[in-house]
Each structure stands twice: as structure tokens, then as C-alpha cells.
Amino acid sequence: MWSKLTSHIGLFIFIYFNNLIDNNYEYFLYCILFISI
């Protein structure tokens, strides 16, 4: 339950900042790692 909640939050943060910051692959990798946890 907790891991699924953090996954949704991580995905939301990724989509939100992806609209603000383009071509920021380093942030993209951090989001992937965050969702994977």
C-alpha cells in the first residue's frame, strides 16, 4: 500500500516537473529511481 502510494506521488511529481523542465535527463533518472523504490 505504502509503496504504491509513493509510486503515484513520484509519477505525479515526474509529470509535473517534466512539463516545467524539458530535456532534463538527470531529473528523469531520479524519478525512475524514486518510483522503483
Q: What are the residue boundaries of the structural domains of the chain, listed by start?
A: 2-36
- Series of mean pLDDT values for 10-residue runs along the chain (37 residues): 74 76 70 73
**Which residues contact residue 14 at a Cβ distance below 8 angstroms, ignoring those fewer than 6 apart?**
28, 31, 35
**Cα–Cα–Cα angle for 35, 22, 11, nearest 5°?**
20
CA angle 25, 36, 17 (to 5 degrees): 40
Give the per-residue pLDDT at 22. Answer: 64
pTM exceeds 0.75 for this model: no
Contact 11, 33 (CB under 8 A): no
Q: Furthest-apart CA pair in the chain: how many Å?
A: 32
Q: Phi, psi at residue 21, to the nearest 5°?
A: -115, 115
